[in-house]
Each structure stands twice: as C-alpha cells, then as structure tokens.
Chains A and B, each alone.
Chain A
Amino acid sequence: MNSFKFLTAPDVPAAIQLTDDQPLAAFIAGGTNLLDLWKYNLVNPTALIDISQLATLSALRELENGGFRLGAAVKNADTAYHPIIESRYPLLSKAILAGASAQIRNMASNGGNLLQRTRCYYFYDHQVPCNKRVPGSGCPAREGYNRMHAILGASEACIAVFPSDMCVALAALEARINVTGIDGERSLAFSDFHRLPGERPELDNNLKPGELITSIDLPEKGFPLNYSYLKLRDRHSYAFALVSVATALEMDGHTIKEARIALGGVAHKPWRSLEAEEFLRGKTACRENFAAAADIILEGAVGLEYNRFKIKLAKNAIIRNGMMALDPDAQLPGAQPSL
C-alpha cells in the first residue's frame, strides 16, 4: 500500500472537483472492496476523497413520483432494514441480506455495491495475467478453474462475473442510477449501467472518469406481494453466488400480470431476458411456464470445464424461485438471509 492523501470536501461538486487535481484519486465510502484491492496491490490511488460524510449522499427518502431514493453513501444494512424497503421493496431487502456478512453490510455503501470488482481468482492475483486488470495480458480463467465464471454474455477476453446480490434485485426492480460528473448530472437505466466485457473487459460499467454515483432511484412499483431471492453458493453465508435469482411477480389470481427475473453469478452484469418476462405475461404461474421462461433466459448459455453445472442449476433455480415467489412468507432455505 502506497502513501496517499486523504481529502474531504463539503459537498458533491467540491468532491468531484478534487478529482481534477488528483488524477489517481479514488472516492471512498465504506471501502470494503477498495481496501482489499489496494492491499492486494491491484490499485494504488494517490489520494482518497472521502464521500461518506456528504449529506446529499446519505439520505433515504420518498420521491414525488411515488418511488424511493437510496443515497449512494447509505450503508447496505441501513437500506435493507429500512421499514419502507422491507415493506414496499422486500426483494431488495432479501437480496442485500443474502450478500457478504453482517460486518461488511454494516460498512459497505449502496454506491460501492454497484462498483465492486469481480471476485475472479485470477483478477485478484497481480502476479498472473488478466485482461480485466492488464488489458491484453490474457485470461488464465478460461482454461483454468472457472467454477465461478460466466455462462452468459462472456467474451474471448473475459469470463468474469459481477458479484453483487443487491444489484440483481435492482435490475429486476428497474432502478435508475443518478450520477454527477464535471459536466453535470445524468441518470442511467439500471440495465445501461453495467456492461458486458466484449473487447474492453477492464471497463465494468459506463461511468465516465470522475463521475460519482449520488443515488439509486427505485420506481413506485416494488412487487411487495410476490417476490423471492434465491442464492446458491458453496456455503450458507459469506460466499458469492454461483447462481442467484431475483424474481418479482405481479399476480392476478393464478395468472402472471407482470414478471421480472434477474440472474446473478452468471454474467458480467445482472442478467435479464425481456423476452422471457414477456413470455410469462398472462400465463399461469406454474413449474412448466417457469421452466419455459428459464429456457428462454438461458438460451445461448455456454458452459466451461468447471461451470457447466450452472446451466442446469440456473434453470432449476428459476423454476424454484418462481414457485417461491408465489408464497414469499414461506421462504424455503436458500432464500434465507445470511446472518
């Protein structure tokens, strides 16, 4: 870990202004991923700009359009346990609580959750090649131990997956991301925020240099009646998803009025298929229809030596989670929040 400056700013514009003088600066809120990356010698920022104390980033509040705004610096745990999130957006609450550990959720920020780096073993080892870390250096994961890696949307250059649970729910809920940069504010649809690796695996998302996430807006519709988050992993807590599924349903009796299904642990970003969701519209909520939707979602999935299982596992998980969403109060194990 190199020597660095620790900078504070009175507000968001001032914080962004600081990046102008400090090209190798990093914003810090919770730091739960940044410090790991730093200690592993993957990043070496020369300055930290502390945004954890900025009032405008620290609020949770209702929006005039009926939605709800999550400040970027609000802690994951404070978000998950907020009464409005628990009652109106329980899918988000469940997803957050399935992630990391209680200690990390108490520290990690909402904005930081969107920006966490992949957990690919090879990315984390600065002594080995990695196209995401050093563009053009190669990808040992493709021929190596690729149990955790992508089955959808991967490229020759990169098969890493995005590790967040929270973002899988945000994708299903169609949240919007508000960002501020030198050129002012803009808002991105959740599906436009993260990107697939393609030829540029070093870019995880579409933020421009110096841009700061200020908040996440949830739309009015939160699917509070029929939802489920199912996370499958190698131990019952404190492990990243091999496959996770966020399912939100709007029901009319046994008929699906609207369905949202997002997958985690399978691609470089939370994975949705609008075609599959459209397929479910007006259909009966049953195993067969969820299975057919799963086939649409997983079309084009490619398994590698150690992650082939994910294709079948994802299908079974989509079916199970669809059924669980019909009765969210009887959450079966696998959806249980981590402790």
Chain B
Amino acid sequence: MNTDKNVGRPISRLEGREKVTGAARYAAEHPLEGLLHGYVVSSPITKGKIVEIDTTEAMAIPGVVDILSHLNRPKLAWFDLQYTDMDAPPGTVFKPLYDENILYNGQPVALVVARDFETARYASTRIVLRYQQEPHQTCLEKHLDKARAPKKGLATALKPPPPPPTGDFENAFENAAVKVSATYHHGTEHHNPIELFATTTLYQGDGKLTIYDKTQGTINNQLFIANVFGLHYKDVRVLAPFVGGAFGSGLRPQYQLFLCVMAALHLKSHVRVVLDRKQMFSFSHRPPAVQQMHFATDINGKLTALGHNTLAETSNFEDYTEPTSNWSHKLYPAPNTLFEHKVVPLDVYTPMDMRAPGGSTALHAIECTMDELAYKLKIDPLELRLLNYSDVDPSAGKPYTSKALRECYLEAAAKFGWDKRIAEPRSMQRGNKLVGYGMATGIWDAFQFPSRVQIMINSEGKMVVDNATTDIGTGTLTVMTQIAADELGLEMADVEFRYGDSKKPFSMFQGGSAITSSTGVAIVVAARSMRKKLLKKAAEMEGSPFRKAKEEEVVFSSGHIHLKNDPTVKISLKDIIAFNKGAAIKTTKMGRPHMLKLRKYSLATHSASFVEVEVDRDLGTITLTRAVTAVAAGKIINPKTAKSQILGSMVWGISKALHEESIMDPQLGKYINANLGEYHIPVHADIGELEVIFADEKDSLINELGTKGVGEIGLVGMPAAISNAIYHATGKRIYKLPIHFDELI
C-alpha cells in the first residue's frame, strides 16, 4: 500500500443518491417486456399431506397463465445434494413443490402465474386445497425433552461445536464461594429486511438465464440453480446489484428463487416472484433458545467455573446450530468448564443465521450472569470484567492477534459516565422514573474468506475492480473503492468497483462480517500484482527512467508512477496503457487468510456497551435514554459506514431486548404476528442518544489490511447491557427476551 489517502476517511456511500432517489433497481424492480408474475400459495396447515388441489375456478380467472404444484411441476433434480448450498446445515434440504408432504406452516404448495401480480394473488385465494392433517410440535419450551446432539457437517467448519470440558466443573461449581444459576429464554426472530424476497428471471432461451435475485451470495445461488435445473453454471447469471437489507436471510437460496426459475423454464417466459410480508415469516429465522447458565467465582470474584448449556430449535429436516455455548470461555479464564449445545427438532422451517447468530443470544445470557455475579460479590460490574480480563483466548490457549477490549471498556465507561452509577438497584431516580445503568461485553468472530479479484487498468488509465460479492447495504462498494484507489494511488472517481454479479470472480456470500477483509485483501493482493505489471510495462518504454527501478523504489500516486527519491520523474498509467497499444492491462488474484501463521492465534472483534434506561415506577414503561458502544475491530476503512453499521446493530440490540419476537401459537403451529404492524421493531421514538467509539486497535497479524469487520459486533453486547440496566433500575431480573414493560410492574 502506498498511501492512506482514502482509507480511514468518512466517505458517504457512493450509491446513496441512487438509493434514496429510487433510481436503484432492486430484484423486483427490473422491467421486462411480457413479464409474468408469480404468487406463492402457502400451506395453512403445519404438518400432514396435501390430498387435493382444485384449481378449476382459479384457472378460469382472466389473466391466469398457469398454476404449478407438486402435481404438475416439471421434472426436478432428485438427489438432495443437488439442492444443497454453501450454507446448508447437515440434513435433508427442503425442496419446494417436491411432493404432497407438508413439513411446516406457510410452506409453499403452489405457484400461481398470471399476467399481473394482483390477478395472481387473487387467483391464489380461489384455489381449493384439501389436506390430511397430522399432529405437530412447534413450541421449543414444550418439547425440551426432545433435545439431542446436532449432526455434524460441512457448515460445522464455520460453526464449531463448543470446546470439550476442562477441569472438574461439577465439583468446582458445587463447592464454589459465589455462584449463579439461571435459565434464559429467547423467542424467535425473523430477519424482515425491508426489501421483500424477490426474483426476476430473464428467460433468454438456449438454457440461458439472467436472474435478478435478492441474495447475499450471487455465486451460491448461481450454482444452486444450475444444479437443481441441470443447467451449465456458465449459462446462469445471478445479479444482485442492490440488496435492501438481508441480515443473513439471503445466505441461502430462498424458495421464491427456485419457484421463479422453475416457472420461467416451464413457461419459457420472463417471470417475477415476490413474497409478501406474511411470507417473509415462512422461511429462515433466528431460533428460539433456552440457555442454562452456571457461573461461579472465588470470594474475590475470579471465575472458577463456567457452565453454559444451550437448547435451541431446529427443523425436522436439517440440524441448524449456531455457536452459543462457546463464547464465555473466549472472554473469561476459568479452570473448570462445561459447555453443551443441543437441538430440538420441531415442525418448523430450518432456522438460519441472523445478524450475530449465536453470539447475540449467548452474550445476553453470559453477560447477564456476570452482572448477577457482580451484585452478589458487591463488585462493580465493570470491575468484575477487568478482574477476569484475558489477553489470550482461554478456550484455545492462544493469544489474540489483537484485543483492545480493555480500551473499549475504559473509553466507553468514561464517555458514558459510569462512575456516576450508584450501585444499589432502585437507587437512582428522576421524578416517576427509576434510572438504571447497565453494561455488557461483546465478542464476535473475525472471519476472512478466500476471494478472487480482477483488476484492470483501461485505456483512460482508470481502474476497474471486479468481484462477485454483493453490497447488502453495508457500504461494500464504497469501502472497496477506497481500498482499491489507495492501492494504485488513484482518486476514487477513477476507480470502478463492479460487484453483485455471479459472472465476476469468486466471492463467498456476504455474511459473518467477513467481506471487508475477504474482498479487501484480495484487492490488496491483486493490486500488488498490478503494480508489478505496470512497472514492468513502464520499464519497457523507450528511454524509460524506470528501466532499473525496483518496486520499493517507486510510488503510485495521482495516476502516475513516481520515483521515490525524485518524485518529479513520473509516468502516467494512461501513457503506460497507450504504450501497450491501448490494450487494458489485467490481473486476477486470489486473496486468502494466512492459515499457517494464524493457526497460532485466536481472532475476534470485541465491544463494550453501556446503557441508561428509565423505567416508570408505576407503569413499567421502559425508555432507553442513551447508550455508548466502543468497538475494537482492527483498522476501520471508512469511519462513516462503519459507524452506521454499529448504530444499526445497536438499534437491533434495543429491538432484540425490548421488542422483537415472532409469536408461535402452539395450537395452530404458526407465527401469528406475521406483519410489521405486530412484529415490533423500534421506531425513532424508542431510540435514545447513541454514541459509537472505535478503539485504536492495530493488527499487523490478521491480514494485509489489519481489518476485522464491523457488521455484527455492535449488536452483541446491547441486549445484556439493556437487561442489566433494567435490573439496576428496578431490582427485577427478567430472564427472557424480549422484556415487556408489564413484567416490571
């Protein structure tokens, strides 16, 4: 890297104007001549078989083109393997319209295709479906006795099971000086990005398809479609130039993609399928969980035993797990540990990663248990964390590549005014309001995936960077443009980052807060190769002053190569390309994590959240007045988009703590608040003053950029900090999320 001209600057997102003016086209917004519209018919029963589908009346409605179901669908791939995807958990993948079996409520059972959306939707209400119902089980809390160990599979690599026991947990806990046992209950959450899941398939004939899809992984979905429909992967192009939020729900191909492509191939026509909001509750979600916590300390507050047992929902066809019981020992040393994770298979769709999967569930239980210990020990909750602070990862016995959590604690505490806390619960008041202070720690993975990038310098001396990643609203386009511009010493205006296209070089799906490090590092690696190529070409020019120049003796800036010791000696990239007979110079390189070197280390981002709440003493109403979150996530490429990520996830933390829950009716076996009127997320009036601090964390080990990713870390600590603040305000510890205000009166 030559300069940090753009990296580190708070640059507004480059596509922001397109998005706020409506010029950006999302998956359901691409106009096509002769487009047909599909509407999904969803199962009203939870378990059983379809006995009859009578489409007579629906087919007679003018404008209806076809109604596809398991009875008349085209022949499909048969092997499960062909339906699998990069994020599929172990088990048997769900195959839409495959047969008469109903596995969960809301399962797609037919697709109505019509000339317009309204006709398709209306016709869906005129189909008569008859079912044979079977008893179902959908409620985690009622079926905890079914808990069993999860199956292992490919996805286990990113989601390791908890580490094996250490020491003698049972004995240590039994005889500990101070201990807390508690059981935490979490409800189901659905991702609910504002953009509805949608696919527009452009039918090109000759087995070729161009697909605008809402996804976090263009290549993941390209391969899925090619496998399922027996097409050559090169004939399937998946585009996702804009994604209106996804939060994990787009990590796997969703059923509207399958149904849309199936209809397009069957009808030899362009087809669009858009789910409605209710159908957004008919696939993946964050699983409900029960967590049993057993933490103990010695008389001075040093942790001696950590026990964390998680029981979480999964479907009856796939074993979804998220790392939950794994986290406490990554933060706190303790000689005796026992961690378990079990799944409870139910008649629901398979859960799926949702922003900070596992971490946000686990850290709530862990950090509330730590808070409870602090009150028992009469130690300040922050003090207790510092007392048990570790620079190494106790669960792996390895040092972190970097860990500025201490700085997070201290900077956030100072900014928040933690020293003004009066320890006793219910001791701080404002009028009718009880005031509470709470804090909690956050930790999240620092992933890096292999990623391939092509860099091209075109005839104008401008840089074009290609990678298949999406930008799910995180600022990827902007951040990659910043990195690329600095690598070749160009203005950002002279760099074009092309993405959201499965035809571009390989990227994994955009998840796990990994893409800045993954694609970013690939750009650094490819740029290194490009600088070599350009210098070599420059050296070939007649009378070139760069003939003998070595790489380290030149600098790339302002669209030129300069000699370091005499910057007036320079040549423009444009002239180099002209010398190359106007032909663009290209290079394609893979960036990948340095597995060998990193094997000796643990990798994580950290955070500390401090929260103030007011709780009405008579009415219980909860107001989050302010929160401060400090984050240690290595180098911050763009402080503005990074801050937006943290702010957004802090709001999510408020939502998780106080609002968000999909209510499962166990009798009906379905979510009954499946709309944004009743599935509550916070409104502006629910959000107090939020502040974000980025701790200075230099990490020369982790990757070429020193980055760790900020998509999830801001969420992890917030729910516990809020719960702890509510305890401090009221003296009531609520062992569940979300917390409802009536539980406080």
Report A's interface with B, CB cutoff 8 A: 1-3, 41, 119, 121-122, 124-125, 127-128, 140, 143-145, 232, 234-239, 242, 309-310, 312-313, 316-317, 319-320, 332-334, 336, 338-339
Contacts and interface: CB of A to CB of B under 8 A. Distances in A.
Interface of B: 44, 118, 121-122, 125, 431-432, 616, 618-621, 623, 658-659, 663, 665, 667-668, 670, 672-675, 677-678, 680, 682-686, 740-743, 745
B485 to A, nearest CB: 40
Nearest to B117: A1
Contact of B667 (A143, A316, A319): A143
B668 A313 contact: no
6 pairs of A and B residues whose beta carbons are closest in the complex: A236-B685, A127-B44, A309-B742, A121-B672, A316-B618, A237-B685
A121 B432 CA distance: 33
A38 to B, nearest CB: 10
B672 A235 contact: no
Given A128-B668, A312-B745, A1 B677 contact: no
**Chain A interface mostly:** loop
B677 A313 contact: no
A313 B741 CA distance: 10
Given A232-B741, A234-B680, A2 B672 contact: no
Nearest to B682: A235
A330 to B, nearest CB: 10
Contact of A145 (B118, B618, B665): B665
Contacts of A235: 658-659, 680, 682-683, 685-686
A223 B663 CA distance: 41
Contacts of A319: 618
B162 to A, nearest CB: 33
Contact of B665 (A41, A119, A140, A242): A140
B672 A232 contact: no
A81 B620 CA distance: 30
A236 B623 contact: yes
Contacts of B675: 124
B431 A41 contact: no
Contact of B686 (A1, A128, A236): A236
Nearest to B45: A127
Nearest to A242: B742
Given A124-B675, A237-B685, A339-B685, 20 more contacts: A1-B118, A1-B121, A41-B125, A121-B663, A121-B672, A122-B672, A127-B44, A143-B667, A144-B672, A232-B621, A234-B659, A235-B659, A236-B623, A236-B685, A238-B683, A242-B742, A310-B742, A319-B618, A320-B618, A320-B619
A2 B122 CA distance: 6
A264 to B, nearest CB: 15
29 contacts: A3-B122, A41-B125, A119-B677, A121-B663, A121-B673, A121-B678, A128-B44, A128-B670, A144-B665, A144-B672, A145-B663, A145-B672, A232-B621, A232-B741, A234-B659, A235-B682, A235-B685, A235-B686, A236-B686, A237-B685, A238-B677, A309-B742, A316-B745, A319-B618, A320-B619, A332-B432, A333-B623, A334-B616, A336-B685
B745 A313 contact: yes
**Chain B interface mostly:** loop
B672 A237 contact: no
A240 B601 CA distance: 51
Contacts of A124: 675
A38 B476 CA distance: 40
B667 A309 contact: no
Contacts of A239: 680
Contacts of A332: 431-432
A313 B677 CA distance: 23
Nearest to B106: A127
A241 B174 CA distance: 47
Contacts of B431: 332
Contacts of A143: 667
A313 B118 contact: no
A331 B456 CA distance: 63
Contacts of A144: 665, 667-668, 672
A276 B381 CA distance: 48
A234 B678 CA distance: 10
Contacts of B121: 1
A63 to B, nearest CB: 36
A313 B620 contact: yes
A1 B121 CA distance: 7
Nearest to A3: B122
B618 A125 contact: no
Contacts of B620: 313
Contacts of B619: 232, 313, 316-317, 320, 334
Contacts of B686: 235-237
B663 A1 contact: no
B745 A140 contact: no
Nearest to A332: B432
Contacts of B668: 128, 140, 144
A145 B118 CA distance: 32
B118 A125 contact: no
A260 B682 CA distance: 33
A220 B672 CA distance: 44
A104 to B, nearest CB: 10
Nearest to B63: A3
A331 to B, nearest CB: 12
A332 B621 CA distance: 12
A127 B658 CA distance: 29
Nearest to B676: A238
B282 to A, nearest CB: 12
Contacts of B745: 309, 312-313, 316
B667 A125 contact: no
Contacts of B672: 121-122, 125, 144-145
A320 B620 CA distance: 12
* Most chain B CB atoms below 10 A, which of A41, A234, A334: A234
Nearest to A309: B742
A82 to B, nearest CB: 24
A313 B742 contact: yes
Contacts of A316: 618-619, 745
Contacts of A312: 745
Contacts of B674: 125
